Amino acid sequence: MINIGVIGYGYWGPNLARNFAETPGAYVAAVADLDDQKLEVVRRRYPTAKTTTRFQELLQDPSIDAIAVATPVRTHFELGMAALKSGKHLWLEKPMTETSLQARVLIDEADKRRLVLFVDHTFIYTGAIRKMVAIVKAGELGRIYYYDSIRVNLGLFQRDVSVISDLAVHDFSILDCLLAEHPTAVSASGINHFPGTPENLAYITLFYDSGTIAHANVNWLAPVKVRQILIGGSKKMITYDDLEPSEKIKVYDKGVSFTDDPQQIREMRIGYRTGDMWAPRLDLTEALRIEGEHFIDCIENSKVPQTDGRLGLRVVELIEAATNSMRCRGETVQLNAAGSSP
Ligand SMILES: NC(=O)c1ccc[n+]([C@@H]2O[C@H](COP(=O)([O-])OP(=O)(O)OC[C@H]3O[C@@H](n4cnc5c(N)ncnc54)[C@H](O)[C@@H]3O)[C@@H](O)[C@H]2O)c1
- pLDDT (0 to 100) of residue 210: 96
Task: Read off the pLDDT of each residue in 167-181 and give the average, rounded to a whole number.
Answer: 97
Of the candidates 261, 230, 9, 282, the one whose C-alpha atom is nearest the C-alpha of residue 126 is 282
Pocket-testing residue among 6, 7, 33, ligand 1, by greatest number of atoms within 8 A of Cβ: 33
Q: What are phi and psi of 138, to 5 degrees?
A: -75, -5
- Residue of 228 and 155 predicted with greater confidence: 228
- Residue 82 Cα to ligand 1 midpoint, Å, equals 17
From the alpha carbon of 170, which atom of ligand 1 is closest? 3
Q: What is the pLDDT of residue 267?
A: 76
pLDDT digits (tens, 9 = 90+) for 115-158: 999 999 999 999 999 999 999 999 999 999 999 999 999 988 88
Task: Please name every residue paired with 241 in a beta bridge, in sequence order, or none if there are none.
Answer: 228
Q: Rounded to 10 degrees, what is the CA torsion of 303, 308, 311, 316?
A: -170
Please name the residue whose Cα sits nearest to atom 34 of ligand 1: 33
pLDDT at 220 over 60: yes
Separation of 134 CA from ligand 1 center, angstroms? 31
Residue 339 pLDDT > 70, yes or no?
Answer: no
Residues 166 and 151: their CA atoms lie apart, in Å, by 10
Is residue 93 lining ligand 1, measured as CB closer than 6 Å?
Answer: yes
Residue 331 has pLDDT above 60, yes or no: yes
What is residue 158's predicted lDDT score, i.e. its pLDDT?
Answer: 85
pTM for the model stands at: 0.95
